[in-house]
Structure 1
């Protein structure tokens, strides 16, 4: 390798020429008439050099092979490694300037043969398509076996050279200290996000973190894996699913809060906020906030159902609150109230606005009692508005609450704590933290995205509120004993469907409470569209310190990673040829010419957006630990042993697969298992990654001739020895010697190197075919056992052809001897 130009690891392995030369010299020196010390010393030296060159050739072959065929890599869930110090991401390598240089080299036109399938491979695939894969040839070409040179590659697409440029892979780990900086995983649909999510969730559960997964789509395999891992760790498992309320636990998204205003915020944030909608959302927020404070005063726990009921009957709610205030501060007020006459103007106003007269009279009575309270004034302000006019101001609230309180979902997210007939447990986040539980949240966004977003956002807001309390008081707030500090791992798949203003403080400040958030989305534009503001989207992105990017489809998303990488210098080689007339007429030269190889340095990006749009499925670039770039590939799912799960979990998983019809294959159906050939799962590399035409032509010819002689010799000697021809094998070994005596009379050919090589070759073949395999001994037995009987009956009708083989062997041996 040049000291000034990087090694071209994708050239043809010319070292095999040196290997052939050194090996031949080693054997020749050992047979020359020289002292044994020199002979064997030279043999050792030449052999060592030959081995060194062979290793170099094999390294080049590995690089060439690796471009299209990566080593097979799959893990069962039990085989996924875990650690208390780091998070396992997959296999890969750190990307440096060297890999940018190699990527540039392998994409040169002369290396197209390494990256593209061979003609034979294309012909096999074409035949399978034309015959629909039904004939016997297609069944053979589709077989994953070492002898199949056209075994199909996995349908992962992309540019395999992005990972194949490195032959040395290591397990890639991320330090757990980086997790509190949060992580974003970007990738288009069906490229491996859920598999990566599952890999990290399994480790989080085993590590003992409180693990919460938000799954808007509904992945049955993820849900069952979380259940199995929680049971192995002897931890509680909560499953909340909007699409399967009969199996789900119950949860009140607005029932727990640190401040009363959080309830109004969680509801109002689900309403449109663009343009004039922002003003109406403010009306809704104030209205819900007044309702919530009133309900709290009446000891009514907020829920979507209670909020809807109160919003529709605000007069009744206000009347109940007024009565409670009067009971508390003015005992016996009923007598005075009976004698109280409401001012005529207020009575006319109540009739005009369509309000309840008794409630309006109670409000007027409280004023007369000089009882001032902000909440009473707020309720009076609502009641003073015309009923139909006020309902128009808050009209956007009712459709949302209608959706959240319709059908079975209503009992799921507005649980009745007094209904003892409902066996489903009620989940709350504080209980989850205290019990160190594992939680799966299925939001069924495919059925109703608005309800899913509302519940998901409310959950995020609930978790943020709890994080504030944990940050101030620790995990043991409200408990007498000391509670262990816990890590809370939150995984939000398709988080662009769930994101809202509540998510920003969760990322900004929840790290101090032990929260470590990992979010998954397809493009960053989805986040901007959902949040409604590029500035807010940038604020969210600024709090996601670790980035893992699988294949993406937009340049803008890819640039989120590439813009954070430095530029590097690569070496380029330019061939320059020139010719021209001589400028001086007195010169004896008519023209001048020259050829140059110019080596120069060129500054290029370490990675381009186009590279990220061409990643194969299951591969990613990871920017971790302060901007270090790693290229990783995820472990493919491998068929796992059947785990025992409760009947209701199994039924729900089966229903989820049927309802959602996810294209994610199970382990036994996976397109990337051993049943379908994987990169380098077969040793038949010679047709796809390193065709023989790339080898040195004489070496290729010698290799082919050796195979032919080996086949003929084996067939001939095996047959003749089986039919008991006596010492035929020994005669065959002596035959070249007699040929040599006849061809070179009077010469001592007995000790020539040629005859010694011939003897050694015959003896070597005899050892391989007979002594090592014990075929010779079994054939001499002459038994009528089933093996011998079938073997003999097969060969007897073909004796004529086998004799022709034997004759051909003699002719080849004779021509070879005469030639020397």
Structure 2
């Protein structure tokens, strides 16, 4: 099998000659033992020896043939959800092998010109495909050529694209698992559109639900199979009662959720409400003004016992008078008994300037009188000072400073979405459940969050960012107060598995905190993105993007579209030495009349070594769909195939979901139709995952 230091597994299977010769000898010895001067017993022993030799060489020939076939095609790989293996201590990723220098050597061999025919389809295969394209081709013949059967020598190759040799350089696969504890350092999955990111998410989520973890999924676009798979898994493992749906596109059946209603520090409200505002260049100053304005409103609302939400923030932002008047009255009632006897609600002649100011700015005159009474009486209060500073500004001028806030709040408080993310907690007639993250963690919930980003992108980005900030606050409380914070039982800290598709849409300062501190609160993040540049563009800084990448220690890289993203894996790998064979020949002649030879020739095979990267970045741009390289457990490089989950059934889903599922499919189908080169076949065995 071995040909010197270079184990050329792609050479022709010369062992077949030995197999045939050994079997012929065995037959001849058994048929005519006397011809070979053997007794019958000796002939039997010799025949057995020849058969053993033939068997040994047959195994070697079959191995070479398997390698030569594997670099051109791979068998399909699919699993039913019930067949996905799971463990309390490890995470299943797929089937594959650990990539070593041996596989880099094989890729180098395969790139040689003499092996070019192995990478291309056979002439018979090309003829079959050409025949199928002809409109007048015999139907019985095309039915045979297109049949997906192992005995069909021209069956169509799986439509997964890429270079199958990247997995074909190893024929001995095994199940690939990584330690669950390693994911506490978080995982990042890169891959261009429609190459298998969501399918990998399904495999991981299935295991999380089976394990009993808290599972939270952020799905900006809305994948029907992902949602159905989650719900089916929850039913299968007896956790259907723990399942909760939040979807901006279908508020009538969604759980209600207030992204800014729960907080530990009141400043979190302003941070979440203004987080989506631009903060580059001159916009940073306007964002700071908007943040301070919302913070003043939130502090006053919290003081009078009113829970903040986007609708109220917008209403008070347009006109803070009602809230300010309510707060002044509340403070005076609480701290100055009998103050109403001292306060005159009607302006005097001396307060003519105050009346003019109220008329000019459209302020409530009684509010300004209250503010003046508060100030002249010498009362001290931080919230009053903040509100008074707002009232002291010219209203038109102040609105210009915070004007960037209004369009955002307008989008979040328009239509049915307003009732969804600004819920009335005391409305007992609304049957929709309320979503509260501490409650979800406490009871071990499963939450699918769909943001309908294909339809309402701005709202989706704002709500998803606020939701992540809210989650981060909860993780911070658990991290600060201990593993049993908020728990109603003595079970201790729960494991929280957060899957975030289109992670770049959620990235912000809060995410860095979640990734840093979330591990101590039991948080395991798996993020999904198309390129590393998506995250860099979102945060606006290479340094910040590297900071985020430093918190995502395990990397799974499917097919990507640019070198920079591929190098996030390849730059972490060492270089290896590979063998190269150089053929040399030469001829020398002689003029010595005493020599019988007129010339001498020589042929040499020289073997040298050269240093090359273990993984070429270009290879990651040629991966077939459903295949990936993974950098796990501190630098182990693994080549994996992701099993394709078979389509989830709608049986057992709530009847109220029917219209939602139909519309989600239609929306997603339209998206794929607009991106025809990104489509992914998900039916039958032809996808080859």
TM-score (normalised: structure 1): 0.79
Which whole-Å CA distance do the structure 2 matches of 1:163 and 1:181 have between them?
A: 27
Compute the displacement of 1:62 (Å): 1.3
Which whole-Å CA distance do the structure 1 matches of 2:2 and 2:666 have between them?
A: 60
Compute the displacement of 1:358 (Å): 1.4
Counterpart residue number, 1:98? 102
Residues 1:417 and 2:425 aligned together: yes
1:154·1:672 contact (CA, 8 Å) conserved in 2? Answer: no
Which whole-Å CA distance do the structure 2 matches of 1:480 and 1:15 have between them?
A: 69
Compute the displacement of 1:194 (Å): 0.3
Flag the 1:642–1:336 CA change in 2: closer, same or farther, 3 A.
Answer: closer
Counterpart residue number, 1:202? 206
Compute the displacement of 1:582 (Å): 4.9
Corresponding residue SS for 2:259: coil
Counterpart residue number, 1:121? 125
Compute the displacement of 1:267 (Å): 1.5
> Cα deviation per residue 1:67-102 (whole Å; 9 max; x = unaligned)?
122233210111111110100000000000000001
Counterpart residue number, 1:144? 148
Flag the 1:487–1:478 CA change in 2: closer, same or farther, 3 A.
Answer: closer
Counterpart residue number, 1:53? 57
Counterpart residue number, 2:23? 23
Compute the displacement of 1:61 (Å): 1.2
Compute the displacement of 1:641 (Å): 6.5
Counterpart residue number, 1:603? 611
Compute the displacement of 1:468 (Å): 1.2
1:92·1:631 contact (CA, 8 Å) conserved in 2? Answer: yes
Which whole-Å CA distance do the structure 1 matches of 2:488 and 2:445 have between them?
A: 21
Which whole-Å CA distance do the structure 2 matches of 1:134 and 1:458 have between them?
A: 60
2:327 to 307, 317, 321: 321
1:88·1:174 contact (CA, 8 Å) conserved in 2? Answer: yes
Corresponding residue SS for 1:511: helix
Counterpart residue number, 2:46? 42
**Unaligned runs of at least 5 residues, structure 1:** 680-820
Flag the 1:407–1:146 CA change in 2: closer, same or farther, 3 A.
Answer: same
Which whole-Å CA distance do the structure 1 matches of 2:672 and 2:136 have between them?
A: 24
2:411 to 383, 392, 403: 403
2:515 to 499, 502, 507: 507
Corresponding residue SS for 1:174: strand
Counterpart residue number, 1:562? 570
Residues 1:227 and 2:228 aligned together: no
1:143·1:676 contact (CA, 8 Å) conserved in 2? Answer: no
Counterpart residue number, 2:258? 252
Q: What are the residue-to-residue correspondences of 1:333-344 with 2, within 5 Å?
A: 333-338=339-344, 341=348, 343-344=351-352
Which whole-Å CA distance do the structure 1 matches of 2:359 and 2:562 have between them?
A: 60
TM-score (normalised: structure 2): 0.94
Flag the 1:137–1:480 CA change in 2: closer, same or farther, 3 A.
Answer: closer
Compute the displacement of 1:377 (Å): 0.9
Counterpart residue number, 2:546? 538
Flag the 1:132–1:377 CA change in 2: closer, same or farther, 3 A.
Answer: farther
1:19·1:50 contact (CA, 8 Å) conserved in 2? Answer: yes
> Cα deviation per residue 1:127-163 (whole Å; 9 max; x = unaligned)?
2223288834322221123442211111100000000
> Cα deviation per residue 1:753-799 (whole Å; 9 max; x = unaligned)?
xxxxxxxxxxxxxxxxxxxxxxxxxxxxxxxxxxxxxxxxxxxxxxx
2:642 to 634, 643, 659: 634
**Unaligned runs of at least 5 residues, structure 2:** 674-678
Flag the 1:197–1:133 CA change in 2: closer, same or farther, 3 A.
Answer: farther
Counterpart residue number, 2:668? 660
1:214 to 218, 221, 224: 218
2:184 to 176, 180, 184: 180
2:33·2:40 contact (CA, 8 Å) conserved in 1? Answer: no
Counterpart residue number, 1:10? 10
Counterpart residue number, 1:311? 317
Compute the displacement of 1:596 (Å): 1.3
Corresponding residue SS for 1:93: strand
2:465·2:505 contact (CA, 8 Å) conserved in 1? Answer: no
Compute the displacement of 1:651 (Å): 3.5
Flag the 1:583–1:239 CA change in 2: closer, same or farther, 3 A.
Answer: farther
Corresponding residue SS for 1:536: helix
Corresponding residue SS for 2:342: helix
1:304·1:405 contact (CA, 8 Å) conserved in 2? Answer: yes
Compute the displacement of 1:640 (Å): 6.1
Compute the displacement of 1:565 (Å): 0.6
Which whole-Å CA distance do the structure 1 matches of 2:215 and 2:179 have between them?
A: 18
1:218·1:442 contact (CA, 8 Å) conserved in 2? Answer: yes
1:636·1:673 contact (CA, 8 Å) conserved in 2? Answer: no
Compute the displacement of 1:592 (Å): 4.3
2:215·2:447 contact (CA, 8 Å) conserved in 1? Answer: yes
Corresponding residue SS for 2:97: strand
> Cα deviation per residue 1:306-336 (whole Å; 9 max; x = unaligned)?
1001111112211111111111122222232
1:183·1:519 contact (CA, 8 Å) conserved in 2? Answer: yes
Compute the displacement of 1:227 (Å): 1.2
Counterpart residue number, 1:617? 625
Q: How many residues align?
A: 676
Residues 1:62 and 2:76 aligned together: no
